[in-house]
Structure 1
Amino acid sequence: MIVFQAATRETFWLIGSTGKAVFYYLAAVAILVFLYGVYARFMRYTQGSDDPLDRLGDLGTRLRTATKLVATNEKQFDRDIYAGIMHTFILWGFLVLVVATAILGFDIDLYRPLMGESFWVGDFYLAYQFVVDAFGLLFVIGVGMAIYRRYVVHNHRLWGKHTSLEDDLFVWALFLLGVGGFLVQAISMVGQPQRATETVSFVGFAMAEGFRAIGMDAALAATLYPWVWWHHSLLAFAFIAWIPYAKPFHMISSFGNIVVRDEKAGARLPSVPADLDHVNAESIDDFTWKELLDQDACTKCGRCSSACPAKASGRPLDPRDVILDLKSYREGLDNGAEPTPIIADGGNSVIAAETMESCMACMACMDACPVEIEHLSSFTRMNRQLTDEGAIKSSMQDVFGNLMQKGNTFGEAPRKRADWAAELEFDIPDARETSVEYLWYVGDYPSYDERNKKVARSLATLFEAAGVSFGILFDDEKYDGNDIRRVGEEFLYLELAGHHVESFEACEFDQIVCTDPHSYNTMKNEYPEIDFAEFADDPIMPFEYDEYWNADGDIQVLHWTQVVEQLVSDGRLGLSGTELDYTVTYHDPCHLGRYNDEYEAPRALIRATGAELYEMPRSHDDSFCCGGGGGGLWMDLEEDVKPSEERLREALEDTEAGDRIEKFVVACPMCTTMFEDGRKTGNFEDAIEIVDIAELLIEALDVSGSIETVSQSQTDSDDSSPPATAD
């Protein structure tokens, strides 16, 4: 029986001095190959262009946050509990086995030679063996779950054009390492009688008992042990050396990618320098070092592809393939391949133009990615290349022309911008002439599109009813620039931003409130990032403003639902919460939800009307894009089914209330436009009504008597004119 305090074992049992020497030699070679590979990877990143963001500022906080995200596996659990459990078992099993190996190496190679004794004995040894067996078992179970999902279930998102032998080698190498460790332990226990009662090594003990049951004795174990031990050791060395050169490198690059992530990625695109150096995608090294790291961090998990509404709609975009296509191209160049265009309209290129045109800039791919790949940065870079070459759809060229000539996407006269307010029974103040609490940026669609003019009138009526001090810019207001920037038109975006900040500076107000989440996003997150001084002296730029605007966030930029929700909470609109008895569902706009994490204010307003709200299966940060973002509002694209049609189908078929849903509630003019279009093309006109929250509130106020009368033009959406889309 084992003497408890003396419990230990021989690490190199039956290996001998020559075997030990060979072992250490191979270990050194494997580590050197590993270190060189990691060095070469990181040196390759230095060939990318500089990143305009400070990716290493407050490094301590970044490391703590990244460690928390990785350790908890919270992104892996998001929308996929099976994957979360699987990855947690693999990650923690692997980490504990690595740490355990390091502890043993420290004892053998440093502590024993210096101290003349080992700490790997007694209680510590027994506890060590139990922990190693427990986490080793979790590791094997986790890898087994991965094998089951990949090869038995054949989960669709794990397979694609970049699935290759390295994926098979990776998962099976992990499995063989885990099982091999237990085999080495079990055979050792059969061959060493002093370990016969080492039950703390419960997995090895059970396997040893099984081997004895089928006839293995100590002599046979001693014969087999060196072969099994060397097989396990050589596989471990090969795996270590292989890590920087294939898929296992994501164990390093993914953590690094999370450390240097931009928490506002997507919501703010990196600003461009005045010399336009490395802003496009003429070569792979125009991509920043972070964008190159993104490519190596990709684990091929397919979460981005599964979340992408463009892919779901049959468009030719697969976010995973774009990132991996760029990686494959880069690696090909590094191995001597001939360069080709990164992106082009037709012909031979790494990425086809139609692929990038398909992107809705909804950020679903980035939200789903467990390793913080910033897809939109790379996508926008390629869009800039297309725009610079003029290789964009004619409908987008028309939009650019309208903006350059008229300042709005409709090509309408600027003097007509506030005509929507003519039917109101009160005057809207001019924020250029009077001090106001809220400077209201109305936006293009509420100003010029007949359907959305009703939303603007409803919102103005809400402000008036609540006694809000507000004003607008009238013909000084232009298009905000958010979506043309994501299509790649950076300079026109800068012109619009410069014009607006100069207009803002000439007004007296406390806060900016936006009708459109797209305007809200760019004014809140992107206008403050622009160094206007770099462009103010350019004769092409129609502004002289030469500072950062709102860099300290002193001016609060809000979406109108946030403002009105506070008004309702303060009792300034007199709603009891019982006025309406509709059964409704709500669509989270991408730029309000995923971009800016605002989910509750719109829902609070819906509940304030008395309407019964049912959530769609895809809601909050999992919301399915309407298809209007990223220029989709102005493009006619080939699709199996329009995203707006799919979303309306989901509302009526997959929501718990089913076809009892009467109203499809939105909080974005672009969404209103897309869903009104989808209601017609998808034959949903008799099944459901599209209504903005502002219109729902006006109806509730009319019922409550807080507003004596509401003109037909404000509330009647049945006779609305066709939405202004390319369709």
Structure 2
Amino acid sequence: MLLLQADAPTRPTFWGIGPVGKAAFYYLAAVAIAVFLLGSYRRVARYAEGREDPLNRLDDLPQRVVGAAGTILSNRTLRDGDLVAGLAHAFVLWGFLTLLIATTILGIDMDVYGPLTGDSFFVGDFYLSYSFVVDAMGLLFVVGLGVFLYRRYAARDGRLWGRHTSAEDDLFVWALFLLGVGGYLTEGVRILGQNFPDFETVSFVGWAVAVALDGVGVTPAAAEAAYPLVWWSHSILALAFVAALPLGKPFHMLASAANVVARDEDAGRRLPGVPADLDATNAESIDDFTWKELLDQDACTNCGRCSTACPAKAAGRPLDPRDVILDLKNYRESRDAGGEAVDIVADGGRSVIDAETMESCMSCMACMDACPVEIEHLDSFTRMNRQLVDQGDLDRNVQDAFQNVMQQGNTFGESQRTRAQWADDLDAEPTDAREESVEYLWYVGDYPSFDDRNKRVARSLARIFERADVDYGICYDDEVYDGNDVRRVGEEFLFVEQAATMVSAFEDCEFERIVCTDPHAFNTFDNEYPEVDFEAFADDPMMEVPEDNWDGAPVFHWTQVVEDLVDEGRLGLRGDELDYTVTYHDPCHLGRYNGEYEAPRDLVRATGCELAEMPRNRSDSFCCGGGGGGLWMEFDEDPKPSEERLREAVEDTAVGPAVEKFVVACPMCTTMFEDGRKTGGFEDDIEIVDVAELLIEAIEVREGGGVPAGEGDAAASPADD
């Protein structure tokens, strides 16, 4: 064989192993592959026992696979928010795939091409190129794993350690590292044992290992004698890893790829509906979860990115998104092994998830945005919230909000006749869209209609529309609560009732577009109302629903509409009216949910204000704490999410204490931050203003009838009456 190498560069695959050893290897390889296939089949069969997903997760499969391949191979989602970890994972992935492909090529040459042709392509230039690429990519593999080991054990990165961290995590990363290092050691021992063939310099890492071994006194004869032991150690570890892939954490390598293929681009912003059948269960057992939700559990890598991003966890609430997903996974595996059945979620008693944990969720989607493998946490969380509703295990304040909506049509429990009283002090009464056609049907929302602080925002926006001569109207007392947050707390049927009422109101009006004050309403009108299957509830005597499903309409948040008005010059702003230094908070439902980040910022700049960005902005924005029913609940937390966000504004922005105003674009955010301003002791440090209040102040200054720029209080400006 050495003579053959001298004629044509190549290497013997089973050098020093012998016929018996070669036969044993093939036998063990067959066993490993059989275990892998059987284990993978059992995983897939287990998913099939889950509930059918309401969405078609595999439609246009070729395009899904291509898109997923781009995401996975680029490691785009892993680089977001953590460039070092993303690059290290890319090195590991690319190296692993290269080694897998290389092994496959070698197998084809030995077991297919060779027996069929009596020849080999594993020689000459092909072999040299092959050796160089495999060594180079294998080095990336080892370097990436070295970064992982450093961050886990030396830097002790906190997000890598949690309640579900176990020896399995250690075994997984060390097994991969030893596979990479063991491959180079095997190569180095062979090169030394073959007395350094000149052409093997292309295997530069293996060559370096051989030089190092030679330098410490290992002779070629000793290397040749030791090679079978080294080769078998590496081979058995590799085959054991293949067999173990579907049996534990390594399976995430396959499950996460499948999860990216099956992802829903609208997950979170569009929750799946529930069956109209009142006998249907939500989360009474683990098999009530859909196959995609079961796949989510196996796709979780325990990386902790969702935990780090979660504002509920940061505030000390008993929610860690990672723990919830992995608790469900562990319970599923326990039940499959014959373990005791307990409630999935309950308030008190034995359960997999405690009710307080689910009540802590703000539905901000930060966990989903941070997850690199497309786990759709909110689908599983909402399923458990629906189960809590079914069981009556609800926070008392949330039950009161439900009662208010059921009895009065709004979360405040106020008479619907007073819904439009916020407009009493306007110069012109808003058009009644029930009686006249309008260009914009303005959905004002509960808080701007009934909350004194947010009424000022509604009046500011109305005056902006009037100044720009916008053809708008409102539904007056036919407007009811949109239902977005009761749905996220789990009251699906109440959401359907509210949607039915609002859709009927929409259908009774003539309009071209819907404009919303509240990003929560904007989201649910645009993404969820068109998905509600009213026809499924047509035979329910307890529900009045439209005869047909709603086809939808163009829906906008008001900042998007007013941005166009400013661009058209209809508000007369020149961009130098105000000289405040402000910062802006991205509302979850406007930003992370629906990708609108620039319209509010453009409006702030249009007033002349200097905008200092928050350290956590746009898709990394930190929730105010009001989403997912948080506005109705009371939590014992210090600091509150709103307090932490205000602290960030006055301490961590580039201009620090120079920030004068904290600008928001969501009524719920206004309420939460006004509360946090008081409880956190920020009353003398910063003001809370809505973008609409800032705009109307700038307009008043431009018209010469307002407070001079830089003086006074925007919250007490002419917009305040």
Fold match, TM over 0.5? yes
- Residues 148-227 of structure 1: pairs in structure 2 closer than 5 A: 148-193=150-195, 195-227=197-229
Q: 1:633 maps to what in 2?
A: 631
- Residues 99-498 of structure 1: pairs in structure 2 closer than 5 A: 99-193=101-195, 195-276=197-278, 278-498=280-500
Instruction: Give the Å deviation of 1:347.
Output: 1.3
Amino acid at match of 1:80: D
Q: Deviations over 1:20-66 (max 9, x none)?
A: 11000000000000000000000000111011011011111111111
- Residues 569-584 of structure 1: pairs in structure 2 closer than 5 A: 569-584=567-582
* Higher mean C-alpha deviation, range 628-637 or range 276-285: 276-285
- For the pair 1:546 / 2:544, whether they are aligned, the reply is no
Inter-partner Cα distance in structure 2 for 1:515 and 1:445: 9
Give aligned-pair identity as a percent. 66
Q: Contact conserved, 2:306 with 2:366, CA < 8 A, in 1?
A: yes
Q: 2:683 maps to what in 1?
A: 685
Inter-partner Cα distance in structure 1 for 2:707 and 2:276: 53
- Give the direction of change, closer, same or farther, for the CA distance of 1:104–1:276 in structure 2 (3 Å limit): farther
Q: 2:564 maps to what in 1?
A: 566
Unaligned residue ranges in structure 1 (runs of 5+): 721-727
Partner SS state of residue 584, structure 1: strand
Q: 1:701 maps to what in 2?
A: 699
Instruction: Give the Å deviation of 1:212.
Output: 1.3
Q: Contact conserved, 2:5 with 2:11, CA < 8 A, in 1?
A: no
Unaligned residue ranges in structure 2 (runs of 5+): none
Q: 1:645 maps to what in 2?
A: 643
Q: Contact conserved, 1:313 with 1:639, CA < 8 A, in 2?
A: yes
Inter-partner Cα distance in structure 1 for 2:279 and 2:229: 58
Inter-partner Cα distance in structure 1 for 2:474 and 2:538: 25
Q: 1:519 maps to what in 2?
A: 521
Amino acid at match of 2:359: E
Instruction: Give the Å deviation of 1:4.
Output: 8.4
Q: Deviations over 1:692-725 (max 9, x none)?
A: 0000000000111187899xxx9863599xxxxx
Q: Contact conserved, 2:697 with 2:706, CA < 8 A, in 1?
A: no
Amino acid at match of 2:608: G
Q: 2:603 maps to what in 1?
A: 605
Q: Deviations over 1:346-396 (max 9, x none)?
A: 111100110001000000000000000000011111111111111111111
Inter-partner Cα distance in structure 1 for 2:527 and 2:704: 36
- Give the direction of change, closer, same or farther, for the CA distance of 1:278–1:187 in structure 2 (3 Å limit): farther
Inter-partner Cα distance in structure 1 for 2:119 and 2:507: 75
Inter-partner Cα distance in structure 1 for 2:139 and 2:80: 24
Q: 1:666 maps to what in 2?
A: 664
Inter-partner Cα distance in structure 2 for 1:708 and 1:219: 94
Inter-partner Cα distance in structure 1 for 2:407 and 2:186: 76
Give the alignment's Cα RMSD to 1 decimal: 1.7
- Give the direction of change, closer, same or farther, for the CA distance of 1:478–1:5 in structure 2 (3 Å limit): farther
Q: Contact conserved, 1:430 with 1:471, CA < 8 A, in 2?
A: yes
Q: Deviations over 1:494-517 (max 9, x none)?
A: 000011111111111001000000
Q: 2:27 maps to what in 1?
A: 25
Inter-partner Cα distance in structure 1 for 2:409 and 2:78: 44
Inter-partner Cα distance in structure 1 for 2:19 and 2:649: 72
Amino acid at match of 1:668: C
Q: Deviations over 1:233-279 (max 9, x none)?
A: 00001000001011000000000001001001000100111114655
Inter-partner Cα distance in structure 2 for 1:38 and 1:373: 20
Q: 1:725 maps to what in 2?
A: none
Instruction: Give the Å deviation of 1:548.
Output: 2.4
- Give the direction of change, closer, same or farther, for the CA distance of 1:469–1:4 in structure 2 (3 Å limit): farther
Inter-partner Cα distance in structure 2 for 1:36 and 1:310: 40
Q: 1:723 maps to what in 2?
A: none
Inter-partner Cα distance in structure 1 for 2:281 and 2:340: 22
Instruction: Give the Å deviation of 1:547.
Output: 2.2
Inter-partner Cα distance in structure 2 for 1:536 and 1:333: 38
Instruction: Give the Å deviation of 1:640.
Output: 2.4
Q: 2:62 maps to what in 1?
A: 60
Q: Contact conserved, 1:309 with 1:624, CA < 8 A, in 2?
A: yes
Q: Contact conserved, 1:586 with 1:614, CA < 8 A, in 2?
A: yes
- Give the direction of change, closer, same or farther, for the CA distance of 1:706–1:535 in structure 2 (3 Å limit): farther
Partner SS state of residue 202, structure 2: coil
Amino acid at match of 1:407: G
Inter-partner Cα distance in structure 2 for 1:445 and 1:387: 24
Instruction: Give the Å deviation of 1:2.
Output: 9.8
- Give the direction of change, closer, same or farther, for the CA distance of 1:582–1:20 in structure 2 (3 Å limit): same
Inter-partner Cα distance in structure 2 for 1:78 and 1:268: 23
Amino acid at match of 2:617: S
Q: Contact conserved, 1:534 with 1:546, CA < 8 A, in 2?
A: no
